[in-house]
Amino acid sequence: MSLYLEFEPTSGEVSQKNCYWGNIHSSSLSTDLLLNMQDHYDYFISHPDQVVDRLSQIYGEFVFILPDRIYKKIRLVRDHVGVIPLYFSKIRPGRWAASTSLNTLMTRLTHLTLNKKYMARIYNDDYSATSETPYTEIFRCPPGHLVEIQNDKIKYERYWTIDQLNSPIQNLSYSTAVELGRTIFNQTLSARLSQNTHVGGLLSGGLDSGYI
């Protein structure tokens, strides 16, 4: 499954009501409004000037498409490290589309041009997280970024970098690093376990499942 919707930046209108995908696992907010995607979406819509500040206080894998009918623009948001992809493109004059699936977005375009610059980077093992995709007509929201589309102009704003972590890891002894890694791993795993459903897992034998 994937998210797909169309929008018109000049009016701030979108083709569906709830424009988000993913999960919020934890938050540093001091309210009870922590894990519900709908609640965060509603907050972003009602407090457009506080979106960036709010994003710095939540943790998870998510994308949001936020219409702003007052200033006639659309904002696209991708999670901090880019677990969930988010692509967007102008599909016809005044009409744009966004999707978590590149293939889905490709089917909405009548013409696609190979992005030779992007492909050259990939062939040279350069996998930098940029706004480029294999096609010049399709763009990507980079990890930790907010993209603003207004009057068919695209503006990128980075709301998070790894340098913003509260506790930089440096100059640690081996034993301290092992213990810290175990603590962080357990916290991350616990944040993803629902208390209301049964949990199943597939252990491939790789690094992640081997650690579990």
Query: Which of 87, 100, 74 lies closest to 139 in space, CA to CA?
Result: 87
pTM of the model: 0.83
Lowest-confidence region among 47-61, 88-102, 105-119, 134-148:
47-61
- Helix, strand, or coil (residue 90): strand
Asked if pLDDT for residue 33 goes beyond 50, the answer is: no
pLDDT average, residue stretch 92-120: 95
C-alpha span between 8 and 11 (Å, rounded): 6
What is the pLDDT confidence band of residue 17, given thresholds at 50, 70 and 90?
Answer: confident
The gap between the terminal CA atoms of the chain, to the nearest Å, is 27
Contact 44, 51 (CB under 8 A): yes
Say yes or no to pLDDT of 195 above 50: yes
Identify the three-state secondary structure at position 190: helix
Cα–Cα distance, 71 to 18 (Å, whole number): 19
Residue 121 Cα to chain centre, angstroms? 23
Please give the mean pLDDT across all residues of the chain: 86
pLDDT at 39: 87
pLDDT at 168: 58
As a whole-number percent, the residues of the chain with pLDDT over 70 amount to: 88
